[in-house]
Amino acid sequence: MIDRRKKKDRRKTGIRDRFTITISDINGSKHYQLHQVIKKFVLYFSLFIVLVILGGSFFISFLMDEVDSLEVKKAKILQEQAALKKKNDVLQVQISEKTQEFEDIKEKITDIEELVGLKPSSETKVDDRLQDITFTSSQQKAFFNSIPNGEVIPYSGLSGSFGWRVHPILKRKEFHRGIDLRAKIGTPIKAPADGVIEFAGYHKSSGFGNLVIMEHNYGFKTSYAHLEGKFPFQAGDFVRKGEIIGYTGNSGLSTGPHLHYEVRFITRPLDPKNFLNWNSSNFKEIFEKEKRVSWQSLIKIMNNQFHLQKQQ
């Protein structure tokens, strides 16, 4: 019985010896049970996992807070952008109004000058002797090359006439110094006479958007507004009659695609429709329809130039 117990104790001792780790150094030997080592490893590993989870949770929470902060900043910036856009729209309208007031003042000054005799009214009327003047085909060609005439785009009707009207956007009565020609976006615009480009680009001081202004001979000027933002010519370029100077669009203060077309003589606005319909078959009609042009003196100068060129 005693022998059995001894044998059993020796077996247990052997088992403990097999699962015991002994570490010896100068201070002596230390004995560790393998299951204790495993317990410590599991404990430390569990603590490591917990720390990783806690650190990850903290980092994710930090990132979420940063995202929320960025969203708030984004919303604030969008609000400020909307406010600036609103202010810009108001300023554009104010600029358009001031520009229109300036044009009205210039027009009134011109009228006053004519009334008080600073600009002889005889020069703005057609002389009766024009009826007796005959023009050769070469003289007519010289007129048509120098003075705006004919269609600038294929005619599809008018959406706005020359004269007083209520502005479709500003909702106030004003003098419309041109005509609005219906046109699809991208319709080519042809120069109605020889000339030089005075301006080609986005016009900030008016509601015209993309604008081309062209200087012609003898004090005539034409303007083309609400265009697309591509310009075949730049300021200072010389252009021949019939060349493409731009493309119709819907820029600026516009309710739809169209071409705003103006014709002026020494800053005086003229009805462009009279010039659209001007051709060799009705050559003399323009002299009666547009009495704000000094036709008599203009014809005299052009005839002198024509005869001089002929002699040379």
Can you give the pLDDT at residue 158?
94
pLDDT tens series, the chain, 312 aa: 555 555 555 554 454 455 565 666 666 666 656 666 677 777 888 888 888 888 888 888 888 888 888 888 888 898 888 888 888 888 887 887 777 677 667 666 665 555 444 454 444 444 445 555 567 778 888 889 999 999 999 999 999 999 887 877 777 788 889 999 999 999 999 999 999 999 999 998 888 999 999 999 999 999 999 999 999 999 999 999 999 999 999 999 888 999 999 999 998 999 999 999 999 889 888 988 898 898 888 888 887 877 776 666
Give 245's contacts (C-beta < 8 A, 6+ positions apart): 189, 190, 191, 197, 200, 212, 214, 224, 231, 232, 233, 239
Can you give the pLDDT at residue 215?
97
Can you give the pLDDT at residue 212?
97
| Model confidence, pTM | 0.59
Distances (CA, A) of 181 to 226, 249, 252: 11, 11, 16
Distance, in Å, from the CA atom of 208 to the CA atom of 164, rounded to the nearest integer, reads 18
Can you give the pLDDT at residue 123?
44
Distance, in Å, from the CA atom of 95 to the CA atom of 56, rounded to the nearest integer, reads 57
According to DSSP, residue 190 is labeled E
Distance, in Å, from the CA atom of 91 to the CA atom of 98, rounded to the nearest integer, reads 10
CA 128 to the chain's CA centroid: 49
Residues 162, 176 contacting (CB under 8 angstroms): yes
Can you give the pLDDT at residue 10?
53
Phi, psi of 64 (to 5 degrees): -65, -40
According to DSSP, residue 121 is labeled G
Determine the residue type at 305. Answer: Q
Determine the residue type at 189. Answer: I
SS3 content of the chain, % helix, strand, coil (to 5): 50, 25, 30
Question: Which has the closest alpha carbon to 111: 206, 178, 175, 179?
Answer: 175
Question: Which has the closest alpha carbon to 299: 128, 138, 131, 143?
Answer: 143
- Where is 149: in which H helix or E strand? none
Q: Is 84 helix (H, G, I), strand (E, B) or coil?
A: helix
